[in-house]
Structure 1
Amino acid sequence: MASSKIQPRLLVADKDGNIYDHPDLLMVCRRGHEFALPRPDELMPLPEESDIFLLPGRNALGLSQETGRIEAQEELAVAAFAAPAHTLTAHAAYASQHDAPTLPLFAYGAVGFANGRFYICAKRVDQDDRQVFKHISKKLIKKNAHALMKQYPDNRLMQHLMSNCALTYCCPAARNLTLGRFEAPLPTSRACNARCVGCISQQDDGSRICSTPQNRLSFTPTAKEITEVMMHHGRAETEKPIFSFGQGCEGEPLTEAVIIAEAVRSFRQQGGKGTVNVNTNASLPNAVIELAEAGISSIRVSLNSAREEVYNRYYRPKGYTFADVRRSITEAHKRGIFVSLNLLYYPGISDCEKELDALNELVGTEKVDFIQLRNLNIDPEMYLELLEGIEFGPSAGFINFRRRLRKANPWLKFGYFNPHLPLEKEQAPT
């Protein structure tokens, strides 16, 4: 448990990547345009399986207790990428040099050092351990992946999930598929009808983001290939199976609704049980209707904001509007589909008054069931530049943000992962 008396010291990195805690300066964090000390209720020990980054071209900022001023250091700033199930409450504080390179697509949490350990500005928002691998041998994952490739030599989807996702990108969902547990990924679409600034699988020519964490799917699997992977996972994970379309290595799954509907319908007709989920931008309401009738259980709608202008700046939709997103949620609920929001949380922006008001209205009007509090993976300053000129109002802080949403919408639940739904929530094809 974090203590209100903890005052982490500033972390700095030298040019060789060695990390030190500063003997005199305190850790400072950033929420939007505000620089401040961490709030006592937002510090926690750095979770296992988190990563620490040095930030090139960015000087560390720390608070002098003697002068009460924030001071820039010659050394580089340091940030932390929190392990899954945790949401950042503040970003690392730094001063960018004029030639600082754009940061890769990760989330850059404020991190400091106290009492012999690292502390991060973050909160655990989900108790599920589905993406914890500390006690699992990498050799076992590799062995199982190769066994599945041998078992399904003609299934291109299984080959992709094993060779690219599990073994090359170390995708947690694909690794779980090798282990026969939790949630199976089902990438299907090569195309997308949005041009997200922080897309992790494909960037426009000339983008400031020079690399992506993974490459886009290079083929479109058949319904038979998809169903075969689903049936395999359903036999392996018999307790709480989840099957998810819409992965980081693909485009927008609704653009392949016909294939997905055929696969899901076949899976259900063969007695397939479990939660069939679609991670989506919810751009095509008619496609959502088609998938609901085919037998999906839930959709997870990706948002950075419930305000259209803020949404458009990041998603840059092609051929759809925010009204289509809302209609998809409405149509899903009409058909008994569980609706989550995949809220890409950015400290100091997402928790501002205007954002809270808009999100409260969306959740309350559409009766959204669940909010997954995910981190927005992007260079923090790049995102602020993207939203320049939009009014946000004062920041409530992450804890108040969550508390106020729950008070206004008492049925609403929070988490990080797609929940497994009770048997009665599973959908049969109509």
Structure 2
Amino acid sequence: MFLTLFNNQKGEVLEHKGLTMLGRSGSEWVEPEPEEMIPLPRGASLVTLPGHIPVGLDKSERLTYCETDPSHSSQRVFAVAALLPQGFTRTLLPACVNSSSMEILPLLGYSAVGLKNDKIYVAAVQTDEHRKWHPTYYNTDGLPARINRMLKKHPRNRIYNQLAKCSLEYSCFTAQNIFYQRWEAGIPTTCTCNADCLGCISESHLKVDSPQHRLNFVPTVEEITEVGAEHLQNAREGIISFGQGCEGEPALNGANLAQAIIRIRQQTAKGTINLNSNAGYWDGIKAMCDAGLNAMRVTIFSCDQENYNNYHRPRNYALEDVKKAINYAGDKGLRVSLNLLTFPGFTDREDEIEQLLDFVGKNQVHAIQFRNLNIDPDYLLEQFPGGGQPVGINGMMHILQEEAPQVKLTSYTHPVE
């Protein structure tokens, strides 16, 4: 049994000794199974859900709202959730109710938490090794000096200035890796997009601010080449990725990116060139694949046509175009991954799993990267209220391993060997 946690008016996270923790799967409040909970991993953080009060079970197993501090009945409390580091996929949402109908939660990936034996647990499963993305390796004291050195080395390259902003203002790890010269590094290149995704983090379509501002210039081929070649020549296990949180759809800039890929490969054969994309713009995808792209990660909320359209709201493309791009990339020898936007109670529904299995069975998908969807749960479920029975995130992963053993289950992009 896990105890419910809450945040008091002093900002302290405390347990309610008389309230058993609940989690949330879709619209249902559920008691977590032991395999759905793990000790809070290093690098995770606890956050308050403003305007939301926790829900649990009292000693008579009655559903109970925790509106006030049990030790100070005059003081209000709020629900608590965890934000997971890379490499972990949440299994349950926090069980809470919105006490203020005006409050839409910021675009974050909230996971249920509870206390057991004086230790905080979170509803999650580890889906990848997370050392490279551990927060201890980022935002270090030496980062500003590294940024200044790179800006002095490349004073006219606007991409480095954008990445400096992303590093210092947004604490973006892929931006910081450019300056640490290691692992996967992002190169933003595109202002526009061909979709209006509900959970877009650079151009909000909800009544909540986006956590990032979108790129406001189009880099030259020379600027892109300079950043990409510099990283791949010098980085440990280097990856450059087009398609970042601060930009639109990079394939729309595919002509320039294709030229940059060719020029980068003229300077170095090292490392992996990756594209994060919705794969909806065929001309751009084809040009980049032909130029020497190594890997492509395709973001997808659902493999069901109607649900796909309702979430991604594509402009001038359809899910069939995405399939065409995936298979062309596979034919060209690229490693193709799905960036599966994962939401407990939706992604693990039986009908969604069937559609996903059909998709990976008929198209050249080599891996599924589980990405915790950053969005207010109440808002999302207003858009997708019905559907099949959830089997649990752990259950879904077991089904995928059994039914599609050729597809690797992971959390992020790895170097192409």
TM-score computed with the length of structure 2 as normaliser: 0.95
**Which one of 338, 347, 355 corresponds to residue 335 of structure 2?**
338
Q: Does 1:302 align with 2:304?
A: no
Deviation by residue 1:283-314 (Cα, 9 ceiling, x = unmatched): 01232111111010011000011011111111
- The corresponding residue for 2:45 is 51
Q: Secondary structure at the match of 1:248?
A: coil
Alignment-derived partner of residue 416 in structure 1: 411
Aligned position for 1:198: 199
Deviation at 1:98, TM superposition (A): 4.3
User: Which residue is 1:72 aligned to?
Assistant: 65
Contact 1:253 / 1:280 at 8 angstroms: preserved in 2? yes
> What is residue 3 of structure 1 aligned with on the other side?
none
Residue of structure 2 equivalent to 1:427: none
Q: Is the 8 A contact 1:21 1:113 kept in 2?
A: yes
Partner of 1:399: 394
Matched with 1:226 is 224
Q: Structure 2: which amino acid aligns with 1:116?
A: D
Aligned equivalents of 2:132, 2:282: Cα separation in 1: 31
Gaps of 5+ in 1: 1-6, 423-430
Alignment of 1:169 onto 2:167: no
One-letter identity of the residue aligned with 1:396: V
Q: Deviations over 1:25-56 (max 9, x none)?
A: 11110000111111110111111221211112
* Structure 2 unaligned spans of 5+: 68-76
Structure 1 CA distance, aligned partners of 2:137 and 2:354? 42
Structure 2 residue aligned with 1:17: 11
1:35 alignment partner, one of 29, 36, 59: 29
1:115 to 2:108 alignment = no
Map 1:260-299 to 2 at 5 A: 260-299=257-296
Structure 2 CA distance for aligned equivalents of residues 277 and 260 of structure 1: 11
How far apart, in 2, do the equivalents of 1:137 and 1:216 lie? 22
Counterparts of 2:169 and 2:63, CA distance in 1: 42
SS in 1 for 2:368: strand
How much does 1:416 deviate? Answer: 0.9
- Within 5 Å, which residues of 2 pair with 1:177-216? 177-204=178-205, 207-209=206-208, 211-216=209-214
Give the match for residue 4 of structure 1: none
Which deviations, in whole Å up to 9, do the C-alpha atoms of 1:144-166 show, x marking residues without a partner?
0111111110111112111x111
Describe the shift of the 1:138–1:298 C-alpha distance in structure 2 as closer, same or farther (beyond 3 A): same
From 312, 315, 330, the counterpart of 2:312: 315
**TM-score when normalising by structure 1:** 0.92
* Residue in structure 2 matched with residue 425 of structure 1 by the alignment: none
**How big is each residue's C-alpha offset from its partner over 1:306-350, in whole Å with a ceiling of 9 and x where there is no partner?**
011111111111111111111111111121111100000000110
Contact 1:56/1:100 (<8 A) preserved: no
SS in structure 2 at match of 1:130: helix
Count of residue pairs brought into register by the alignment = 408
Q: Distance in 2 between matches of 1:310 and 1:9?
A: 35
Alignment partners' CA distance in 1, 2:353 and 2:345: 11
Asked whether the equivalents of residues 48 and 81 of structure 2 are also in contact (C-alpha less than 8 Å), the reply is yes
- Offset at 1:133? 3.4
Q: State how far apart, in whole Å, the 1-side matches of 2:123 and 2:218 are.
A: 40
TM-align CA RMSD: 1.3
Alignment of 1:152-167 (within 5 A): 152-162=154-164, 164-167=165-168
Please give the residue correspondences for 1:358-377 in structure 2 after superposition, counting only pairs within 5 Å: 358-377=355-374
Q: Secondary structure, in 3 states, of the residue corresponding to 1:323? A: helix
2:83 corresponds to which of 81, 92, 105: 81
- Residue 143 of structure 1 is matched in structure 2 by 145
Cα deviation 1:240-259 (Å, max 9, x = unaligned): 21110000000000110011
Determine helix, strand or coil for the equivalent of 2:268: coil
Secondary structure, counterpart of 1:71 in structure 2: strand
Matched, 1:8 2:2: yes
- Do the aligned partners of 2:243 and 2:275 also contact (CA within 8 Å) in 1? yes
Give, in whole Å, the separation in 2 of the partners of 1:259 and 1:186.
13
Contact 1:231 1:272 in 2 (8 A): no
Secondary structure (helix, strand or coil) at the match of 2:317 reads coil
Which residue does the alignment assign to 2:71?
none
